[in-house]
């Protein structure tokens, strides 16, 4: 009996040691991998090099072009290309290989950016944009995601969440399978609704903020963003989930923030 206790005590010591090492590795990572977001100066943790991030963005964009259908609408393409070039110039990242594409999908009211300067608009969002100013609102937001390296930041947070899950699994090794299952599920829900989704909303708000600055620097009136989000709100026809469950701020929240930022952002605005 005495020998078993000693063996068990030794096992627990190794488990605790493993957890301590894991936590020290995570802490060290936080110290050495922090960068600063342009304009907002928010400190961010990124565990991937920019070359890795750009390579992933290029590969994903190639896949998007293979699976999607590029729009043949010359008017839409001209609007997106013109706004994209102006806002990319304002972003001052000449090292990025900027590409802008319209995907023929009228049912999808969305756009997205990939690392390294790849931006895609689904044709379904263009009626909501209405004109080049509206396109500039969306373009500024998407270019801001690329400029702030939000994709690499999200991947870094996902990696840390996975490490945390593994650390918890080690700590719970002496628990029953049922108890392990309950606690790991609770951890997953806590990460999703307590960390990941609030952080995603923070990134979206940050992209709104930086996007307004970029469109203003490019010569577009940042006040046009209010009308765009009002149209987005009308287009949603009341199909909204509570904000705390969503990865994006509510339309009302976005409009309120835009109004708060306009005095600052208008300092960058010069009519062409």
121 within some domain: yes
2 within some domain: no
183 within some domain: yes
The helix/strand/coil state of 148 is: coil
Q: Would you state the pLDDT for residue 47? A: 87
Q: Would you state the pLDDT for residue 158? A: 78
Q: Where are the alpha helices (DSSP H) in 33-130?
A: 50-67, 74-91, 126-129
For the chain (272 residues), the mean pLDDT of every run of 10, in chain order, is 47 49 50 77 89 92 92 96 97 94 95 94 96 97 95 83 65 68 54 55 94 97 96 78 63 95 94 74
Give yes or no for a contact between 161 and 191, defined as CB atoms under 8 angstroms apart. yes
Distance CA 150, CA 162 (A): 18
- Looking at the 3D structure of the chain, how many domains does it have? 1
Tell how far CA 248 is from the center of its chain.
Answer: 10
Q: Count of residues for the chain?
A: 272
Q: Would you state the pLDDT for residue 190? A: 53
12 within some domain: no
255 within some domain: yes
- Cβ of 77: how many Cβ atoms within 10 Å? 16
Which residues does the annotation mark as catalytic?
142
- DSSP per residue, 210-223: HHHHHHHHTT--TT
Q: Would you state the pLDDT for residue 211? A: 97
40 within some domain: yes
Containing structural domain, residue 115:
33-268
137 within some domain: yes
28 within some domain: no
Q: Kindly state the tokens that stand for 83.
A: 């706004």
């Amino acid at each position: 009996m005495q020998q078993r206790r000693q063996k068990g005590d030794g096992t627990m010591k190794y488990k605790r040691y493993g957890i301590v090492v894991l936590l020290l590795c995570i802490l060290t990572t936080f110290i050495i991998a922090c960068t600063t977001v342009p304009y907002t100066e928010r400190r961010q943790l990124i565990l991937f090099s920019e070359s890795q991030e750009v390579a992933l963005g290029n590969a994903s964009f190639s896949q998007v072009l293979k699976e999607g259908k590029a729009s043949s609408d010359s008017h839409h393409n001209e609007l997106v290309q013109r706004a994209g070039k102006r806002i990319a110039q304002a972003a001052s990242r000449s090292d990025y290989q900027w590409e802008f594409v319209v995907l023929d999908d009228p049912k999808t009211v969305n756009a997205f950016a990939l690392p390294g300067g790849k931006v895609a608009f689904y044709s379904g969002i263009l009626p909501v944009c209405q004109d080049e100013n509206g396109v500039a609102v969306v373009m500024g937001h998407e270019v801001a995601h690329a400029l702030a390296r939000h994709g690499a930041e999200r991947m870094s947070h996902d990696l840390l969440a996975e490490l945390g899950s593994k650390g918890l699994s080690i700590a719970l090794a002496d628990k029953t399978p049922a108890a392990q299952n309950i606690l790991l599920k609770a951890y997953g829900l806590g990460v999703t609704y307590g960390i990941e989704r609030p952080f995603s909303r923070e990134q979206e708000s940050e992209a709104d903020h930086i996007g307004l600055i970029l469109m203003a620097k490019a010569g577009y009136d940042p006040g046009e963003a209010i009308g765009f989000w009002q149209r987005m709100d009308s287009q949603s026809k009341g199909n909204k989930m509570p904000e705390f469950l969503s990865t994006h701020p509510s339309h009302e929240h976005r409009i309120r923030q835009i109004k708060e930022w306009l005095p600052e952002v208008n300092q960058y605005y010069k009519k062409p």
